[in-house]
């Protein structure tokens, strides 16, 4: 058993700060690493120590294993927390940490390799009797093989890259005539994205729900699950909104899927926090999709309903402690929803909108949490993920949580960059969402309501008045002869300027 | 001072009728509003109108007199079109009427730099004076070939709108 005294967080943005918050509570020193583009990023300011690791592109900095290991050794960090993304599912990095005597807060390199390869993961799950989506058991080589599989499981099917993720290297086949071109397209996309053109086939679930289970496992063979997260509100295979409990879930199904998730973790001797992703169809059949061997973006909703700090548990497990709770001691209390706030323009095909944050005021009040990292005057760099923050609310019931989310989104004001806040508000007002009636096609199916930007013309005149007064105010400053308007800046806040970096 | 304000596709005419502290009476396209308006220097506005509370944030754009305005539900692109803006818009190339023999600014402002001396030969389109108004510098050019006859201002002078700054003797062709 080793006590961790100093953790290097090999990440940036909100997740780096999220991890450091728990470290502060545990009196663990924190080390930030940063790229050239992130000198003024909040994780650098929040940490005890901060070290430069390279140029802005992540391959030179946040993916630079040698540099990060060197910093960790130089500053005597006992452990490295990889967050999510970047090196979090990089087996080579986990291996290097082990070799250098630094604790990698995550599973073993072998498990990362096994779960990172979709075909290997699928085989492991079939071995453990976890239901998987019907399809090929290994890589397919020829179109004839594909046609044979189609005879067996029927159309539609999905062709997927073995090394895939994030929606790349995936092709839907609805007609036999599409097979040849779909296989070719999936292969070439897989090769260019992952350097590996092996593909396999799965039956395509027509109205799928994306439901995942959080699991925690210690080094002593104890495994628990912390219930589900419903992640079906997605656009371009990226999650937008998550909630727990899932509106689709029944107590029986939860119990069954939870057991499968624990079995899945046991099957690979998993250690730490991980997530088992399932597809669930409308008849409540569930299929293993993949395992994420790291902390998830949406972990806070699980924390909110279970009361368990997942980062704290990750650290304790890494130190060698046993889990200090059993499955039967865990409950879901109330309902939690997370909305991801992206710097993007929902009215313009979700184009990323980098730039300087002019002003930001975050929602507060009962049952509201924000995990973010931007501040007034901060320039959102173009090099990384456009996520600004995660807004998490809790309510006693789902209805209360939705109302609270609406209120919190209403309070959330970010100017200077475009954000996804408006479309999130529309989701919270969408009848299908409110009824809990949605699958992964929610955004396409409800496009009309979600994309309509209702103009409120009554506000126009007040906006005109504001612009006019600001103009007169500026004129007043350059010309003392303009007596008709007295500038108002001394009447309210006596801060004539904001000091930006 | 009445100006036009472009908001999206709409151009509104707006004028301040009276002010009593933060209580303002403003005419927008013929509709009179009595508002209680408070704002900060960096563009946060609280407007109370008929008991309703409007919260607006103005973010200045790099171009002078242009803003993005944010309300609770919307964002708007806004441009203030005052005499100077209209003047610069209409001026085009050198945009002066023929026979014009003086240079003036339509806006109150400040002389940044005078680039010529009395007696200098100037060519049509040559910049003769730089004026700053609303933090924006504008170059004013000679309307025709000619000789600088008289300069009525000096560097850093504060100027009135429509004040004649430089007079020219035009070269008669």
pLDDT value, residue A492:
55
**Min CA distance, B2 vs chain A (Å)?**
9
User: DSSP for A423-442?
Assistant: HHHHHHT-HHHHTT---TTH
Q: Which residue of A has its CA nearest to B37?
A: A466
Structural domain containing residue B68: 3-81
pTM above 0.95, yes or no: no
Identify whether A294 is a catalytic site residue.
yes
Residue B149 lies in a domain: yes
* Domain edge (last residue) among B49, B81, B113: B81
Contact B43 A413 (CB under 8 A): no
Check which CATH number belongs to the domain holding B109 and give it: 2.40.50.100
Q: For residue A53, what are the CA distances in angstroms to A35, A71, A79, A386? A: 6, 8, 17, 21
Which residues of chain B lie closer than 8 angstroms to A488, CB-CB?
22, 37-39
Handedness of CA A345, A350, A351, A356 (dihedral sign): positive
Phi, psi of A361 (to 5 degrees): -130, 120
- Counting Cα atoms < 13 Å in the Cβ hemisphere of B37 gives 33
Of residues A12, A19, A10, A8, the one with CA closest to residue A300? A19
The SS3 of residue B115 is coil
Residues B66 and B105 in one domain: no
pLDDT tens profile A331-356: 999 999 999 999 988 777 777 887 88
Out of A122, A254, A294, A404, the active site residue is A294
Contact A229, A211 (CB under 8 A): yes
Dist. CA A358–CA A362, nearest whole Å:
13
pLDDT tens profile A179-188: 888 888 888 8
Where is mean pLDDT largest: A211-225, A405-419, B10-24?
A: A211-225
C-alpha B17, offset from chain centre = 20
Residues B61 and B25 in one domain: yes
Residue B91 lies in a domain: no
Which residues of chain A lie closer than 8 angstroms to B158, CB-CB?
479-480
Dist. CA A405–CA A246, nearest whole Å:
16
CA triplet A257, A286, A313: central angle to 5 degrees? Answer: 35
Dist. CA A459–CA A395, nearest whole Å:
32
Residues B110 and B148 in one domain: yes
Read off the tokens for A225. Answer: 């699950």
Whether A44 shows a pLDDT value over 80: the answer reads: yes
Contact B76 A461 (CB under 8 A): no
Phi, psi of A460 (to 5 degrees): -50, -50
Contact A389, B40 (CB under 8 A): no
Mean pLDDT along residues A438-461? 81
- Based on the structure, what is the number of domains in chain B? 2
Selected for mutation to probe chain A from B2, B8, B11, B42 (highest A CB count within 10 Å) is B42
Residues B111 and B148 in one domain: yes
Where is mean pLDDT largest: A66-75, A440-449, A470-479, A481-490?
A: A66-75
pLDDT value, residue B1:
78
Of residues A116, A72, A114, A74, the one with CA closest to residue A97? A72
Residue B122 lies in a domain: yes
Residue B90 lies in a domain: no
Among the ranges given (A126-130, A225-229, A334-338, A377-381), the one the predictor scored with the smallest mean pLDDT: A377-381
**Min CA distance, A470 vs chain B (Å)?**
7
Dist. CA B22–CA B1, nearest whole Å:
17
- What mean pLDDT, rounded, does chain A reach? 90
Residues B119 and B76 in one domain: no
Contact A418 B56 (CB under 8 A): no
Read off the tokens for A103. Answer: 């604790």
Residue B87 lies in a domain: no
Contact A465 B35 (CB under 8 A): yes
pLDDT tens profile B63-96: 888 999 988 777 889 999 987 777 666 654 344 4
Number of helices followed by number of strands (H, E) in chain A: 17, 22
Q: For residue A406, what are the CA distances in angstroms to A368, A417, A492? A: 11, 21, 29
Residues B75 and B105 in one domain: no
* Domain edge (last residue) among B58, B81, B104: B81
Contact B33, A465 (CB under 8 A): yes
Dist. CA B142–CA B151, nearest whole Å:
13
Residues B34 and B57 in one domain: yes
Among the ranges given (A230-239, A351-360, B100-109), the one the predictor scored with the smallest mean pLDDT: B100-109
pLDDT value, residue A65:
97
Residue B44 lies in a domain: yes
Q: Which residue of A has its CA nearest to B42?
A: A497
Residue B64 lies in a domain: yes
Handedness of CA A480, A484, A487, A491 (dihedral sign): positive
Of residues A355, A291, A11, the one with CA closest to residue A128? A291
Residue B88 lies in a domain: no
- What mean pLDDT, rounded, does chain B reach? 83
Residues B70 and B105 in one domain: no
Dist. CA A117–CA A200, nearest whole Å:
11
Longest dimension (CA), chain B: 66
pLDDT tens profile A151-164: 888 889 988 888 77
Contact A291, A121 (CB under 8 A): yes
The SS3 of residue A486 is coil
Dist. CA A183–CA A185, nearest whole Å:
5
Residues B46 and B103 in one domain: no
Q: Which of A410, A462, A486 sits opposite B56 (nearest CB)?
A: A462
Of residues A385, A381, A389, A382, the one with CA closest to residue A414? A389
Which residues of chain B lie closer than 8 angstroms to A422, CB-CB?
73
Residues B24 and B68 in one domain: yes
Beta-bridge partner residues of B137: B132
Q: Where are the beta strands (DSSP E) in A178-307?
A: 199-203, 209-217, 223-235, 238-244, 272-280, 286-292
* Domain edge (last residue) among B20, B48, B81: B81
Of residues A135, A95, A138, the one with CA closest to residue A113? A95
pLDDT value, residue A352:
81
pLDDT value, residue A494:
47
**Min CA distance, B69 vs chain A (Å)?**
7
Contact A324, A13 (CB under 8 A): no
Residues B77 and B8 in one domain: yes
State the CB neighbour count (10 A cutoff) for residue B83.
17
pLDDT value, residue A207:
85
**Min CA distance, B94 vs chain A (Å)?**
26
Residues B10 and B40 in one domain: yes
pLDDT tens profile B131-160: 877 656 778 888 888 899 999 999 988 887
pLDDT value, residue B61:
85
Check which CATH number belongs to the domain holding B72 and give it: 3.30.700.30
Nearest 10 degrees: Cα torsion B2, B7, B9, B15:
-20
Percent of chain A scored above 90 by pLDDT?
67
Domains and CATH numbers, chain A: 6-105 (3.40.50.20), 134-203 (3.30.1490.20), 341-452 (3.30.470.20), 460-501 (no CATH)
């Amino acid at each position: 058993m080793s006590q961790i005294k100093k953790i290097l967080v090999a990440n940036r943005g909100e997740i780096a700060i999220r991890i450091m918050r728990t470290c502060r509570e545990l009196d663990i020193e924190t080390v930030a690493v940063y790229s050239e583009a992130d000198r003024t990023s909040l994780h650098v300011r929040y940490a005890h120590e901060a070290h430069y690791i390279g140029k802005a592109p992540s391959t030179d900095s946040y993916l630079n294993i040698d540099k990060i290991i060197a910093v960790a050794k130089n500053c005597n960090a006992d452990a490295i927390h990889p967050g999510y993304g970047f090196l979090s599912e990089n087996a080579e990095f986990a291996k290097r940490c082990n070799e250098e005597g630094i604790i990698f807060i995550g599973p073993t390199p072998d498990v990362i390799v096994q779960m990172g390869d979709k075909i290997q993961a699928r085989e492991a799950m079939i071995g453990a009797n976890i239901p998987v989506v019907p399809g090929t058991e290994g890589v397919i080589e020829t179109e004839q093989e594909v046609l044979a599989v189609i005879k067996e499981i029927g159309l539609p099917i999905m062709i997927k890259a073995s090394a895939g993720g994030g929606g790349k290297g995936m092709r839907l086949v609805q007609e036999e005539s599409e097979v040849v071109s779909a296989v070719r397209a999936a292969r070439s996309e897989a090769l260019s994205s992952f350097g590996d053109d092996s593909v396999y086939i799965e039956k395509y679930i027509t109205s799928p729900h994306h439901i995942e289970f959080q699991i925690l496992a210690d080094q002593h063979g104890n495994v628990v699950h912390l219930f589900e997260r419903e992640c079906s509100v997605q656009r371009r295979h990226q999650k937008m909104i998550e909630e727990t409990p899932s509106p689709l879930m029944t107590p029986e199904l939860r119990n069954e899927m939870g057991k499968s998730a624990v079995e899945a973790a046991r099957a690979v001797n998993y250690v730490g926090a991980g997530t088992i992703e399932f597809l669930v169809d409308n008849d409540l059949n569930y299929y293993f999709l993949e395992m994420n061997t790291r902390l998830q973006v949406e972990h806070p909703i699980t924390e909110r309903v279970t009361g368990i700090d997942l980062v704290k548990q990750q650290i304790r497990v890494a130190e060698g402690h046993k889990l200090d709770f059993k499955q039967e001691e865990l409950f879901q209390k109330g309902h939690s929803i997370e909305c991801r706030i992206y710097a993007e323009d929902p009215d313009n095909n979700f184009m990323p909108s980098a730039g300087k944050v002019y002003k930001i005021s975050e929602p507060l009040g009962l049952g509201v949490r924000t995990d973010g990292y931007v501040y007034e005057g901060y320039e959102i760099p173009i090099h990384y993920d456009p996520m600004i923050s995660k807004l998490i609310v809790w309510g006693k019931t789902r209805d209360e949580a939705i109302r609270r989310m609406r209120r919190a989104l209403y309070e959330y004001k970010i100017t200077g960059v475009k954000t996804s806040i408006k479309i999130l508000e529309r989701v919270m007002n969408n009848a299908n969402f409110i009824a809990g009636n949605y699958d992964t096609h929610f955004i396409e199916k409800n496009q009309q309501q979600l994309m309509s930007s209702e103009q409120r013309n009554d506000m126009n005149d007040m906006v005109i008045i504001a612009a006019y007064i600001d103009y007169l105010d500026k004129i007043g400053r350059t010309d003392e002869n303009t007596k008709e308007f007295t500038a108002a800046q001394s009447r309210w806040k006596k801060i004539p300027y904001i000091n930006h970096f | 001072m009445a100006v036009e304000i472009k908001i999206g596709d709409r151009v509104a005419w707006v004028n301040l009728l009276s002010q009593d502290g933060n209580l303002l009476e403003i005419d927008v396209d013929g509709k009179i509003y009595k508002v209680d308006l408070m704002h900060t220097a960096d563009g946060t506005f609280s407007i109370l109108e008929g008991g309703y509370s409007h919260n607006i944030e103005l973010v200045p754009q790099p171009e002078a007199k242009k803003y993005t305005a944010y309300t609770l539900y919307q964002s708007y692109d806004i441009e203030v079109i005052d005499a100077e803006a209209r003047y610069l818009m209409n001026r085009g190339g050198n945009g002066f009427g023929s026979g014009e023999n003086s240079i003036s600014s339509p806006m109150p402002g400040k002389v940044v730099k005078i680039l010529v001396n009395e007696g200098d030969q100037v060519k049509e389109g040559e910049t003769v004076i730089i004026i700053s108004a609303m933090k924006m510098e504008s170059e004013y050019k000679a309307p025709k070939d000619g000789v600088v006859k008289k300069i009525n201002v000096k560097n850093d002078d504060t100027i009135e709108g429509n004040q004649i700054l430089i007079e020219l003797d035009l070269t008669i062709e």
